[in-house]
Amino acid sequence: MTRPCLPPLADITPPAFRAPPGACDSHAHVFGPFARYPLADDRSYTPAEHPADAFIAHLDALGLTHGVLVTASASGTDNSVVTDALRQYPSRLRGIAVPAADTTDAQLDAWHDAGVRGVRFNLYQLDGHAVYRNGVGIDVLEALAPRLKARGWHAQIWIHAPDLVTLGPRLRALGLSLVVDHMGRMATSRGVGDPGFQALCALLADGVAWTKISGADRLQPAGAPYRDVDAFVAALLAANPEQIVWGSDWPHINYFDPAQMPDDGVLFNLLARWLPDEAARQRVLVMNPARLYGFD
């Protein structure tokens, strides 16, 4: 039995600036109702129910137009909670699914019709050990890559940036657009000079990969105001501002200490520091996600 995760904060810090029309939260998860969308029996954490309408309320609270839902590892390879949410809010949402090794072309096409625009692969390890159960690995990615490319999809990669030193050439060889979650999910204590983080910057600079400037709370667990993350965001923006999107990571799964639960308003307001001019925010919040996920 896994531990139940805490819910996100109900009262958040108000946004410090008005999001531009069409702004997008490019990374979030939905769960439940569990009577209809049960969690995988084998999972690393147990979230509460956070259905699609709760995510829409989250978008509205931050003044955002669009959102991207990612099938979480606690759902295994059952993507129905995401695809049904996409069908419920077709103009506002896009999705990232988790494929099984035997996913058929018909299934990929059905997902595309629902609003899926990529698939997620879990390569996240620490000290050679997988951190989360239910991950779909690089062998499945390599097998599916031609079919993903044919559909104009990308591969979303959940990876520890230091592992890009060894896995980077293998990922480049796919000839597929990549999206690296949460800036490579690397502790800020490693510094921007870490070879893996520099490999991520190179992937952006070469136009091979995108990244999400999300998960500041995961990179610097000490909490707000997350100043140590600033240098990493600056380096990524310098590498290629056209290949960056932002996400909240709502509902912040796998938190068990109320003192550590991030405030969605505080996370959103980091953009006022990271992207101080309106043109930069327009690029990261509107133009880039529209291009990546196919929003109008």
Active-site residue list: 249
Which one, of 168, 158, 189, lies nearest residue 73 by Cα? 158
Could you tell me which of 69, 52, 63 has the C-alpha nearest to residue 23?
A: 63
10 Å Cβ neighbour count for 235?
17
**Angstrom distances, CA of residue 278 to CA of 17, 99, 158, 214, 243:** 10, 37, 29, 19, 17
Cα 242 off chain centre by: 17
Neighbours of 132 (CB within 10 A): 16
- Virtual torsion, Cα 110, 112, 116, 122, nearest 10 deg: 80
**Sequence letter at residue 260:** Q
- The one-character DSSP state at 285 is I
Cβ atoms of 248 and 66 within 8 Å: the answer is no
Q: Give the span between the Cα atoms of 288 and 173, in whole angstroms.
A: 24
Amino acid identity, position 287: M
At residue 79, the 3 state secondary structure works out as coil
